[in-house]
A = this chain, B = another copy of it.
Amino acid sequence: MSIKLNTISKFADLKTTRSTWRHNNQTIALVPTMGALHEGHLSLVKLAHTVASKVIVSIFVNPKQFGQGEDLDEYPRDLNSDLGKLEEIGVDLVYAPDADQIYPHGFSTVISVTGISEGLCGASRPHFFGGVATVVTKLLLHCTPDIAIFGEKDYQQLLVIRRLVTDLDLPVDVMGGPIVRESDGLALSSRNIYLSKQDRQTAPMLHKALMSTRAQLLKGVSMHQVASQTTDQLIKAGFKLDYFELRDANTLAPMDQYGGQPARLLIATTLGRTRLIDNIAVIG
Contact = CB atoms under 8 A, between A and B. Distances in A.
Interface in A230-245: none
A26 interface: no
Contacts of A107: 167
A108 B163 contact: yes
Contacts of A116: 108
A204 B113 CA distance: 43
Nearest to A117: B108
A111 B108 contact: no
Nearest to A133: B109
A163 B106 contact: yes
Query: How many chain copies?
Result: 2
Interface stretch (A1-9, A39-47, A134-142, A189-197): A134-142
Q: Which of A104, A133, A168, A170: most chain B CB closer than 10 A?
A: A168
B137 A168 contact: yes
Interface in A152-178: 163-164, 166-170
A60 interface: no
A11 interface: yes
Nearest to A111: B111
A124 interface: no
Interface in A102-125: 104, 106-116
A253 to B, nearest CB: 12
Q: Which of A111, A166, A167, A168: most chain B CB closer than 10 A?
A: A167
A282 to B, nearest CB: 22
Contacts of A133: 109
Interface in A20-48: none
A238 to B, nearest CB: 37
B104 A114 contact: no
Contacts of A11: 169
A116 B109 CA distance: 10
A141 to B, nearest CB: 6
Contacts of A137: 168
27 contacts: A11-B169, A104-B166, A104-B167, A106-B115, A106-B163, A106-B166, A107-B167, A108-B113, A108-B114, A108-B115, A108-B116, A108-B163, A109-B111, A109-B112, A109-B113, A109-B114, A109-B163, A110-B111, A110-B112, A110-B113, A111-B111, A112-B112, A137-B168, A138-B168, A138-B169, A141-B169, A142-B169
Given A104-B167, A106-B163, A109-B133, 4 more contacts: A106-B115, A109-B111, A109-B114, A138-B169
